[in-house]
Structures are given as C-alpha cells and as structure tokens.
Amino acid sequence: MALQVGIVGLPNVGKSTLFNAVSNSAKAQASNYRFCTIDPNVGLVDVPDERMTKLAELVKPNRIVPTQLEIVDIAGLVRGASKGEGLGNKFLGNIREVDAIIHVIRCFEDENVLREEGAINPVSDKEIIDTELQLKDLESIEKKLQRTEKMAKTDPKAKAELEVLLRCKTQLEQGKSIRALGLEKEERTAIADLFLLTEKPVLYVANVDEASMHTGNKYSEALTEAVKAEGAQVIVMNNTLEAQIAEMEAEDDKLMFMEEYKMTEPALNRLIRSAYKLLNLDTYFTAGVQEVRAWTIHKGWKAPQAASVIHTDFEKGFIKAEVIAYEDFIKYGSEAACRDNGKLRIEGKEYIVKDGDIMHFRFNV
C-alpha cells in the first residue's frame, strides 16, 4: 500500500529538516532561502510499533520488518500560490497526490532564519496555507459545477451531485475546509474525482525552539487553540534536534543524547504514529522464525483484503485465516500455546481484521 503523507508549510519553517529527520531512504536540501525545495523529495519511514519488539522477543525471528509510510517533502507555499505565485500550481499539484498532510508551522523566534510574513504568527501562517488550498479547491468545484448544472436538469444522479457541490462551494467561500463539512461516504463520491486539497486529513507540527520542546510556548499554544474546531492534533517538537537524533547511527549515542534533553523517545515516533492513525490505518502481523512482519491495511478491511497486501493470490484463493489476538499471543508466549488454550481462531471471508491480529492465511490458487 503506497500511502503518502505530504509535508507542507510556508518557506523556511523546517519542512526539509523534518523530512531529513523522518526519512530512512532520502535526504532533502535544507537551506535558509525561498524555494530551496522545488521538486518533491520522497522517502520511506518505518512506523514505530513496540508490539513488534515484544513479538520478536518471544518468536526470536531472523529479521523484523516494520510497516512503512511514504513521506513527501513539498516546496514551501506562499501567498498567492493558488494563482501561480512561487510555482504555486506545481506545488499544489504535488499536494493533490498525497493522502494526508503534515502542516509544519514555525513557532520559534530566530532572526537568522528568513521570514517574509513579518512577526512570528502561527495562526496567520496556518490561515495563509488554508486560504490558498481553499481557493484552489473552489476553482475545481466551480469548474465541475458548470458541467453538472446542465446534466442535473435530466439526470437524478447529477442532481444529487449538484447538491453536494453547492454545499462544498458555500463551505469554501466561508473560508472553511471540506474536511470540516462532514460529508457522508456516499456524498464524497460526488467530489472524488477532484482530489480536493482541503478534504485531506491534516496533522500540525509546531516547530519550537529547544527551550519549548517539552512545554510548548505562546506560539504553539495559539496554534493549538486555533485548530480546536478541526479536531486536529498538534505535535510540538524541535525539528533540528530530531534531525540530529536521526543522524546518529549508534543506539547508545541516541539514548545518551535523549537523556541529556530529558526525552523518553524521539518526538518523531509520536509524529509517525499519529500520521499513520490519520490515514485510518490498522496493522496486522505475521510471526514466525523467518521473520516478524507488520502489514498495513485500511481500518475495516476483511480477511481476504488483508491477505492481498502479502500477495494478490492470497485474496484470490482465500480459504480461511488463522487468527490470534495480540494480547493472547503475549500472554501465552507462542502460537502453539495459544492453540492449546483455545486462543487460535479460524475465521472466514467476512472476518473484519482487528488492529494487532497475528494472522496466517490458507489459500489455494
């Protein structure tokens, strides 16, 4: 499942620094000037999951394979991006391709870091990006409205689509994002082909100075208050420190560094887990001597769909699934012990996979 999370924000707020910290497979140039990033950088990030470590302690596999997300570092947007300012159309197109957004917002003062928007104001910065995304979405909605209005006169399906499009238009004209409109699943089909920017789920990163990394500051507090109505999460972190931790190869060095800064884990771990949840994803595991591996599925998937992420043949020839709940596996210590204690279940095609299930599929092709 190639799901992507895009990192967005104004220029010089710490996007590329965050990307470098979070990515396992690519590095972005992070410099103190406008449009340092033009073409999006794409990297893979392991999703931290302590359940894998506990399973590995019991199974003692040859290797551990975590699940991953794709992270995309998108160039800084500027005021007027929806009209093409600062290569805005190109950058907005990059956002259109991702599944969720991490919006990085500057919440620190540093006269050495360039800033075009005057005094530090995270709420205003957020609104600049929101406005540009909303204006671009409004443009997309209005284009489809022109086509749909004609068809709605004779086509009941088009008439239903028209009603949804008009609600979206009103929402955007009021300076509100589509994700806050609360569209039902059936209603979202009316705009599915538009890949609207403000429909994507969003997670905010308040990039603070070192002194504020544990407690936050007046800027991060203002941002948190501003996004309350969205029900969105704000992760407070210092992107530069996180990048330094990520560059350390020795685990002991990382632990010493984090101890010095009174950190129990990198803030990146919280960010990645939150991004994973933002995409409405679950994880199931396969556990054996060869490997303990995490597999990503959408919440609510049935067993055959879950099997398909291993191989499409598993879905085509699905017979049944052997399932052990994670808590039971940890309690009894092995697959054999779970079977002996009646904790290994046989499930069919209608079984909805639960987060943390340990699974083995039987199939015939």
Distance in angstroms (rounded) separating the CA atoms of residues 264 and 66: 21
The predicted structure's pLDDT at residue 81: 53
The predicted structure's pLDDT at residue 34: 42
The predicted structure's pLDDT at residue 33: 36
The predicted structure's pLDDT at residue 39: 61
| 329 within 8 A of 353, measured Cβ to Cβ | no
The predicted structure's pLDDT at residue 348: 97
**CATH, domain range 4-277:** 3.40.50.300
Q: Which residues are within 8 A (CB) of 132 and not within 5 positions of it... i.e. 6 or more apart?
A: 77, 79, 80, 81, 82, 88, 92
pLDDT in tens, 92-125: 778 888 999 999 999 999 887 777 777 899 999 9
Closest alpha carbon to 276 in 254, 295, 248, 302? 295
Confidence label for 153 from pLDDT (cuts 50, 70 and 90): confident
pLDDT in tens, 3-45: 899 999 888 888 888 988 887 544 444 443 344 444 668 888 8
- Known binding residues for ATP are 12-17
Distance in angstroms (rounded) separating the CA atoms of residues 263 and 271: 14
C-alpha radius of gyration, the chain, whole number: 23
Q: CA torsion 152→156→162→167, rounded to 10°?
A: 150
pLDDT in tens, 289-324: 999 999 999 999 999 999 999 999 999 999 999 999
Q: What's the 3-state SS for 145-192?
A: HHHHHHHCCCCHHHHHHHHHHHHHHHHHHCCCCHHHCCCCHHHHCCCH
Q: Do domains 4-277 and 300-363 have the same CATH topology?
A: no
- Lowest mean pLDDT, pick from 24-33, 148-157, 196-205, 250-259: 24-33
Distance in angstroms (rounded) separating the CA atoms of residues 288 and 360: 10
Three-state DSSP class for 261? coil
The predicted structure's pLDDT at residue 22: 85
Which CATH code of 3.40.50.620, 3.10.20.30, 3.40.50.10140, 3.40.50.150 fits the domain covering 300-363?
3.10.20.30
pLDDT in tens, 51-65: 999 999 999 999 999
| Mean residue pLDDT across the chain | 89
Sheet containing strand 281-287, strands side by side? 63-65, 291-298, 281-287, 358-363, 318-324, 345-347
Closest alpha carbon to 306 in 322, 290, 327? 322
Predicted confidence (pLDDT) at residue 184 exceeds the cutoff of 90: yes
Q: Which residues pair with 235 in a beta bridge?
A: 205
Domain boundaries, given as residue ranges, for the chain: 4-277, 300-363
What the block records as the tokens of 217 is: 């500051």
Predicted confidence (pLDDT) at residue 86 exceeds the cutoff of 70: no
**What pTM value is reported for the model?**
0.86
Distance in angstroms (rounded) separating the CA atoms of residues 69 and 297: 12
- Known binding residues are 12-17
Q: How far is CA 141 from the centre of its chain?
A: 25
The predicted structure's pLDDT at residue 123: 95
Predicted confidence (pLDDT) at residue 150 exceeds the cutoff of 80: yes
pLDDT in tens, 254-280: 999 999 999 999 999 999 999 999 999
Burial of 182 from C-beta contacts in 10 A (0-12 / 13-18 / 19+): exposed
Predicted confidence (pLDDT) at residue 87 exceeds the cutoff of 70: no
The predicted structure's pLDDT at residue 3: 83
Mean pLDDT of 232-248: 93
Predicted confidence (pLDDT) at residue 74 exceeds the cutoff of 70: yes
Q: How far is CA 318 from the centre of its chain?
A: 30
Distance in angstroms (rounded) separating the CA atoms of residues 204 and 223: 9
The predicted structure's pLDDT at residue 31: 40
Distance in angstroms (rounded) separating the CA atoms of residues 301 and 298: 6
Predicted confidence (pLDDT) at residue 165 exceeds the cutoff of 90: yes
